[in-house]
């Protein structure tokens, strides 16, 4: 599949990597995979979408963006403070990313569309800091047993 979905070793990030021709259906499926992850865990707070390996878009229609936006609307109920960065070096990919960004701008997510992977990584590093240690200590101290 030209668009894969993976998780980072620390389970904080979802990474989509494209190669070759990417279709609208593959973009929808990647979005669906991310939604399933955030619905089923407390992990995964950022997405890194790397389209730099894509050679072309094929069969991407407004319907696909509508479906992705609907899935993201549901995902925001689970991750209202999500961070999403898209690497899109080609003009058509970049414009697709910007259109998606316009559609989700009211979600409260922190988003960025970059032309280069290095720029995207720099941006992510500045916009997705790890939680402060004191906050983690408080979370751990206030943990409650799971009811059976």
Q: How confident is the model at residue 141, as a pLDDT?
A: 65
Q: How confident is the model at residue 131, as a pLDDT?
A: 52
Per-residue pLDDT at 120 exceeds 80: yes
101 CB-near residues (< 8 Å, 6+ apart): 86, 111, 113
User: pTM of the entire structure?
Assistant: 0.84
What 3 state SS string does 86-100 have?
EECCCHHHHHHHHHH
Q: Per residue in 15-49, pLDDT tens?
A: 999 999 999 999 999 999 999 999 988 888 899 99
Q: Per residue in 56-113, pLDDT tens?
A: 888 889 999 999 999 999 999 999 989 999 999 999 999 999 999 999 999 999 999 9
Which structure tokens are listed for 99?
């259109």
């Amino acid at each position: 599949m030209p668009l894969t979905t993976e998780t980072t070793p620390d389970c904080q990030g979802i990474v989509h990597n494209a190669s070759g021709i990417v279709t609208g259906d593959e973009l929808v499926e990647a979005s669906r995979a991310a939604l399933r992850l955030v619905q089923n865990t407390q992990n995964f707070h950022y997405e890194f979408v790397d389209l730099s390996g894509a050679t072309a878009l094929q069969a991407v229609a407004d319907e696909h963006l509508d479906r992705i936006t609907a899935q993201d609307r549901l995902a925001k109920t689970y991750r209202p403070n999500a961070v999403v960065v898209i690497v899109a070096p080609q003009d058509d990919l970049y414009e697709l990313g910007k259109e998606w960004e316009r559609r989700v701008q009211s979600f409260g997510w922190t988003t960025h569309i970059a032309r280069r992977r290095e720029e995207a990584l720099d941006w992510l590093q500045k916009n997705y800091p790890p939680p402060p240690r004191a906050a983690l200590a408080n979370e751990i101290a206030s943990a409650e047993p799971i009811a059976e």
